[in-house]
Structure 1
Amino acid sequence: MLTPVSLAAPQRVDIALGERSYPILIGAGLLDHPASFEAVPKAASALIVTNTTVGPLYTAALQKALTGRFAAIHVLELPDGEAHKDWTTLNRIFDALLGHGCDRKTVLFALGGGVVGDMTGFAAASYMRGVPFVQVPTTLLAQVDSSVGGKTAINHPLGKNMIGAFYQPQMVLCDLATLKTLPPRELSAGLAEVIKYGPIYDMAFFEWIEANLPALRAQEPAALAHAVRRSCEIKAEVVGQDERENGLRAILNFGHTFGHAIESALGYGEWLHGEAVGCGMVMAAQLSQRLGGVDSAFVQRLTTLIEKAGLPVVAPRFGAERYLELMRIDKKSEGGEIRFVVIDKPGSAVMRPAPDAMVREVLAACGAA
């Protein structure tokens, strides 16, 4: 039996980073209640940054919950989608902050998915050299991954998330009720980041996902609550040991080197981030097999789970050289050498280079070349 997650007893996962430590609160209905935000510093003003899809659904509830903590609560709705995660849209946040005369105690609230969270966090890190911000993720992907850990960034035409900063929020509030409005495609994209934690860190969780995938896709509350909680626990453990990705934290990028290349080559937003990561994990598993970390049975097991989650397992066909070119720009590359997160045994991962010839074999096997 899973422990129910409710407003009466929201689950708390702590990110232990010394003076930058903060809580992740997980529960249903948290967004509607002022008590959820008691840890947020009071200030003269707040800015809620959201998008045109999420804003009409949840902005009013968040404004009501924050009333009394701030004298003025401003709202900025950005265009929705990965295609808008750029300088132009980021400047709209700065325009709003400056236009409203916001000071260095102003609190930003990121209400939305990963794109909103990343851009709001980057704006908070940059405005007046750093103002407080709060993550209020409304997608599964953001709740289990992008809202946690302090990575903030925008995209560049030559590479995803290449311009950004490490900047931790004051807190993360995961209201599971917001997942009820999530389209099936977005839910599947989030499941990619849930699945990721199993092969790199926790095979018991991987087995739980295999057994409970139908419940997750049906959005059964107990299953989603457990998936969000365990994913946040794992990420908190990893980030607590390696905040700035100098070693261990890099394993959280399993599938991302291939996936980011897919997003860049297709054009941001053509595939959802989680779709690209799902396909990227298939490719990373194939590479792991060739490097001796897993056998073909495990590769097939992971591929089957990803496909059952509603994610693509065949890569877009851009040719090996285009993939290699894009992956050499990846943040984990050093001196032009592409470094991949690979499974060295089920439940454990490392980062290491691989010969171009081997990567070409993987790309061919996955339909990319």
Structure 2
Amino acid sequence: MTTLNLELGERSYPIFIESGLLQQTSKLPSYIGGKRVCIVTNDVVAPLYLEQLKAKLTDFIVDDVVLPDGEAYKNLASFEVIMASLLKNEHGRDTTLIALGGGVIGDITGFAAACYQRGINFIQIPTTLLSQVDSSVGGKTAVNHPLGKNMIGAFYQPKAVFIDIDSLTTLPVREFNAGMAEVIKYGILGDQRFFIWLENNIEAIKSGRSDILAQMIETCCQCKADIVAKDETESGLRALLNLGHTFGHAIEAEQGYGNWLHGEAVATGMVLAAKLAVAMNLLEESEYRRIELLISAFDLPIKAPSNMGFNEFIQHMRRDKKNIAGTLRFIVPTAIGKSEIRDDVSQDLLQQIL
């Protein structure tokens, strides 16, 4: 087992990474505050892992909420379903919520935990690559709104994160590849050696070698933990983790949540951010091509939807959370392994690349 720690003073917590972790869960009970537990999952993950997890929690009174699968259900209606279940079953402030699933489940469960009785414990058990390397770590919780992704939420940290690498064996190839977009992001924004490592291990990653996947997930989690420890509420440095997301969130909102997977939209968003950096003379064309090639190697899209032009992008990007005083802010790579925040992007330049 690999154990990382996200250092946030009294809100610090461990991230456990191991094959077969769901089979063991021996450490899980010590992170449950009282005797009540509510597991939130979806109708794809539940048949695979819900009863298995419940069997490890025989010392607790356990309820569950099973939501429909998909980004389309990361909304206030699903949030209300969780709230109603907690109230109906008379859960108190000593209840612990467990998020069992991908990024959608983790985000909405965390938001529910932040809001129920002004805050209760929750634990992340991410079962997709994207959630294991990104969304389960760092305490960003939210639901979507038709006018904007993740615009309703809170910073709220879990008590622990349990990452079972074996859960990736049940993940569809498209979902795995979508998770690779967030993996590649870490290499582009701040770790050149990791980017090169990814270039050299494409086939091993695709074949699902557990030792390679473990190393990859650990590197991503450590990178995110280091950044979040320095900037928990995204006042500066943490914004770099949004590389590709300004464009990507616009794609998701315009196309309808779930039609493009989050990772697919981020992949295209990173290519567009790199293209913007080249146009601003911040990034070498050769490095742009390497970014494009690595993203393409995992069958991820590198072109914006054909029905989206400048006007469609700009109406969504104006609602981006990084904007300050109405000024659009973009995360752009300046080299493989380096990135920065820019607020000097002209509308003409945006129109040119879009």
Q: For the superposition of Structure 1 and Structure 2, which TM-score range results when normalised by the shorter chain?
A: over 0.9
What residue number does 1:336 align with? 326
Deviations 1:310-357 (A, max 9, x none): 100111131211101110111111222210001133312111121111
Deviations 1:270-323 (A, max 9, x none): 000000000100000011112222111110110011011110011113121110
Q: Verify the 8 A CA contact 1:32 1:64 in the aligned structure 2.
A: no
What residue number does 1:96 align with? 85
Alignment match of 2:135 (pick from 141, 146, 151): 146
Where do 5+ consecutive residues of structure 1 fail to align? 1-9, 364-369
TM-aligned CA deviation for residue 37 of structure 1: 1.0
Q: Verify the 8 A CA contact 2:125 2:162 in the aligned structure 1.
A: yes
Paired with 2:278 and 2:181, the residues of 1 have a C-alpha distance of 20
Paired with 1:304 and 1:36, the residues of 2 have a C-alpha distance of 41
SS at match of 2:31: coil
The answer to whether the aligner puts 1:108 opposite 2:108 as a matched pair is: no
Paired with 2:302 and 2:335, the residues of 1 have a C-alpha distance of 21
Alignment match of 2:238 (pick from 224, 249, 256): 249
Paired with 1:264 and 1:248, the residues of 2 have a C-alpha distance of 25
What residue number does 2:186 align with? 197
TM-aligned CA deviation for residue 160 of structure 1: 0.3
Q: Verify the 8 A CA contact 2:93 2:120 in the aligned structure 1.
A: yes
SS at match of 2:26: helix
Kindly provide the amino acid, as one letter, of the partner of residue 336 in structure 2: P
Kindly provide the amino acid, as one letter, of the partner of residue 2 in structure 2: Q
The answer to whether the aligner puts 1:322 opposite 2:312 as a matched pair is: yes
SS at match of 1:205: helix
Q: Verify the 8 A CA contact 2:284 2:335 in the aligned structure 1.
A: no
What residue number does 1:270 align with? 259
Sequence identity, in percent? 49
SS at match of 2:30: coil
Runs of 4 or more, structure 1, over 2 Å off, are none
What residue number does 1:64 align with? 55
Deviations 1:172-224 (A, max 9, x none): 00001110000000000000000000111100000001111111122111111
What TM-score does the superposition give when structure 1 sets the normalisation length?
0.94
Paired with 2:25 and 2:261, the residues of 1 have a C-alpha distance of 33
What TM-score does the superposition give when structure 2 sets the normalisation length?
0.98
What residue number does 2:200 align with? 211
Task: Let me know the Cα RMSD of the aligned residues.
Answer: 0.9
Kindly provide the amino acid, as one letter, of the partner of residue 39 in structure 1: S
Paired with 1:155 and 1:63, the residues of 2 have a C-alpha distance of 29
Paired with 2:201 and 2:122, the residues of 1 have a C-alpha distance of 34
Paired with 1:333 and 1:94, the residues of 2 have a C-alpha distance of 31
Alignment match of 1:349 (pick from 320, 339, 343): 339
SS at match of 2:35: strand
Q: Verify the 8 A CA contact 1:34 1:66 in the aligned structure 2.
A: no
Query: What does 1:47-196 correspond to in 2, within 5 Å?
Result: 47-68=38-59, 70=60, 72-196=61-185
Paired with 2:25 and 2:161, the residues of 1 have a C-alpha distance of 15
Paired with 2:28 and 2:44, the residues of 1 have a C-alpha distance of 23
